[in-house]
Structure 1
Amino acid sequence: MASDRTRPDLDDTTVEGLGKLSEALETIEQARGQLYAFHQHSGKADLLLQEAVELFRKAGHTELADDLDRDLVGRNVIADRWTFQIVEDYDADYWSTFRAFDERARGELSDGDRHVYEARMKQRERTAGHPRHEAGPALSD
């Protein structure tokens, strides 16, 4: 990692490109979190559904309970897949590839430094010498 995180040796367009790639990766991380939430919510709903089936059965609504149990409990959420399989496919085929390209771009263009765009933004926007506006690690005053 460079001693000056603003990387004055890099041109503005490269830094802007690294910033956009970083922002895209952060958005992918949020999407991945939502996918995991979808996975957990779908699983919880299936368990609640199973409880409803048992309550209907206990109350004597056998036909409805049997139909729900047969046609909905444990059903694939999309063709041939439960949610854990969707998450695994996303991680293996998209998320991991995205992260690898982010790492490659940083390795090739900024010696692995992260958030160069943000470091430059901090230098532009802070008030030097003002309390709570300190440069911080690897940024100079």
Structure 2
Amino acid sequence: MAAVNEERIQATEQLRRDLEVLTATVEHPNGLCMVTASPKGEIRALHLHPALLQQGAQAVGEVVTETVRLATNAAVQTSFNKMALALGDGIAIDVESIAGDSPFRSTWNPVVPPKPAAGDAPPERRPRTPIVDDPDEDAFFENPFGRR
């Protein structure tokens, strides 16, 4: 019993350290903005395509805000996944019952990209980076009762 408690304490301490530095990088669906954010919504990096700046201040604000929200949600989801791996699904489910559903489990609100101005050529599309870079990202959702 003491060994199990010691493992839990070590897992909790490691989880705390991991969550302090956790970020997620997301590209807006229109390819004009990329944001790296923490689960707290802190913006760590922001990259704007020059074509976005030509669309005006309101379009820039909307795209940046949407991309920050997507990056923050991805970081929060990654933190839920790490918590489930470190502490077990039972505790993750308990946290979700208190904090609310994880971002990717709650209702998805797709982003609508702004319409390009007349005469503007759309930017060249690059392959998207995955939203959540976690090889075990679906383990919690595949069978929440199978892991303890």
Give the TM-score, by structure 1 length: 0.36
Q: Quick one: higher RCO (CA 8 Å, sep 6+), 1 or 2?
A: 1
Higher alpha-carbon Rg: 1
Give the TM-score, by structure 2 length: 0.35
Structure that is richer in helix per residue? 1
Structure that is richer in strand per residue? 2
